[in-house]
Structure formats: structure tokens, C-alpha cells
Amino acid sequence: MSVLDEIVAGVRLDLARREAETPLLDLRAALADAPAPRDPMPHLRAPGSSVIAEVKRRSPSKGHLADIPDPASLAVEYAAGGAAAISVLTEERRFGGSLDDLRAVRAAVDVPLLRKDFIVESYQLVEARAAGADLALLIVAALDDDTLRRLHDEARDLGLTVLVEVHDEPETERAVALGAELVGVNARNLKTLEVDPDAFGRLAPLVPSDRVLVAESGINDETDVKRYVTEGARAVLVGEALVKDGAPRDAVARMTGVLQ
């Protein structure tokens, strides 16, 4: 079993518990109180690099990254630094996140929010919107074609912008065929946790120029951002480097607006 398979198995167990606690009909009723979804695409299409700044406590590859007792305060710093969007990890077992983190961040900032999780069922998309998310992540490696397309369409029907994540050529071809507007290239293979720093440059040419490319993983500073922008990225998703930086507002500002 791959690392990704193990993560998804745990996600399904936690999902079953939440579904038992809150039926889907009740969750859909909560959508009436959710704020209207914010559109991140105008910012992400603007000239210069955009930053999707991540609230991330730990990861399977690096273990503990940072104590984040108040994710809302960190999000406020990200927003002040000019983040185009804020990613909130909500996976519990491997990343130490929760939907409560997402709700807290939503109450604190007005920028678009990404629910970063291993989404495998429609219920999770409704959860995302009910908690105030504007974007949802779909990982191609975790989904077959039919499920990927169904979840992509359902997310869009809910008003969510979809970040479709790939890490190799076949996955990129699937994302393009899906019509994904926002494509994230993850340098980290979630099945093995190995990082390929050349993945973005290799896969970017496979994505039509009218789509928006996001570089993910292994981004430490503005030098890395410059490299990815040169290779075609319009945005970078950064977690570890920001949560470990003593001045996340300044770090986001340095990575924002980088031109080719």
C-alpha cells in the first residue's frame, strides 16, 4: 500500500465518523448560512506571481513543522502580506488539521480559502462550502476518471473553484482532458513522498496556455518562485517555508509579484 493509499484509508474512516454525526441533508441545510464563494482566478491570472499561503502544522514527509495554536492569526499575517488565497489543511491524522481551522480562518480573513484535503466523496465538498471554503483540492492520483469528473462537476456546481493536482505526465493529461482551469503540479509524489524538483518544468508544457498553473512543494524562497514563474507558473503554493519563517507576512510579500 502506498503512502497515498494509507492516507486515503484514514480519511475515509474519519469521513464516516463525521457523516454519522452530521447527515448530508443537515450539512446541505447549513449552506444557506455560508458566505458567497470568492473567485480567486482574477488574482491568480494577474501579472506576477501569486502566493497560495498554507496553514500547515505537520506532514508525512517532514513530521512536525510548527505549532499553530491560532490559525486565524497566521492567516491574517498571510493576508497582510498579499496572499492571493490561503490554503487550510483539514486532514487530521497526518497533517494535524481540521475543519475548525478552516472555520476560524474564514472568520478572520476575506481572501479566498482552499480546503486542502484528500477529497474522495461529495460530502467533503459540501463540508468545504459549509465551512466557508472557496476552493477545493482534487488529487488526480487519488481518484479514478469517473470519480474525478463527478467531483469536479459537483464542486463547480457548489461554486467552488477546483485546484486539480498532478505529479506526472498521465495525471497531467487527465487534468487537461477534464478541462481543469487551475492545475497544480506537485513536485512531491504522494505515493512515495519523493520530490522531483524538475517535475514542474517537465509537465508545464503539457498544459494549455489558457489554464493557470500552480507550482507546489519544495518552494523555499523567492529564488524558487522565480524559477517556477520562468517555467510557466502563475502561482505558488507554499506551506513549510512560511510556517517556519518568523515573519510570514514578509515572506509572502517577497514571493508575491515575481516576474519572469
Is 127 among the catalytic positions?
no
What pLDDT score was predicted for residue 157?
97
Going by pLDDT thresholds of 50, 70 and 90, the confidence category of residue 229 is very high
CA distance 229 to 115: 24
What pLDDT score was predicted for residue 134?
98
Is 56 among the catalytic positions?
yes
CA distance 1 to 4: 8
Closest CA to 51 of 252, 231, 260: 252
Which run of H or E residues covers position 211?
none
Residue 171 neighbours by CB under 8 Å, 6+ apart:
140, 141
* Active-site hit among 49, 50, 56, 171: 56
- Provide the phi-psi class of 168: left if phi over 0, else alpha when psi is between -120 and 50, else beta: beta
* Active-site hit among 49, 87, 186, 189: 186
* Active-site hit among 59, 77, 91, 116: 116
CA distance 164 to 170: 13
For the stretch 59-73, pLDDT in tens is 888 899 999 999 999
62-66, 80-84, 227-231, 236-240, range with the lowest pLDDT: 62-66
CA distance 25 to 259: 46
* Active-site hit among 91, 216, 222, 240: 216
Mean per-residue pLDDT for 147-158?
Answer: 98
What pLDDT score was predicted for residue 23?
95
Residue 60 neighbours by CB under 8 Å, 6+ apart:
3, 7, 94, 95, 193
Is 181 among the catalytic positions?
no
Percent of the chain whose predicted confidence (pLDDT) is above 90:
90
DSSP code for 132: T
Going by pLDDT thresholds of 50, 70 and 90, the confidence category of residue 246 is confident
What pLDDT score was predicted for residue 128?
98
What pLDDT score was predicted for residue 12?
98
CA distance 191 to 241: 22
Going by pLDDT thresholds of 50, 70 and 90, the confidence category of residue 245 is confident
Going by pLDDT thresholds of 50, 70 and 90, the confidence category of residue 4 is very high
Is 19 among the catalytic positions?
no
* Active-site hit among 77, 127, 165, 231: 165
For the stretch 117-131, pLDDT in tens is 999 999 999 999 999
What pLDDT score was predicted for residue 64?
92
Beta strand ranges found along the chain (DSSP E): 50-55, 58-59, 63-64, 85-89, 113-116, 135-139, 161-166, 182-186, 212-216, 235-238
* Active-site hit among 217, 222, 231, 240: 217
What pLDDT score was predicted for residue 227?
97
Judging by DSSP bridges, how do beta strands 182-186 and 212-216 pair with one another? parallel
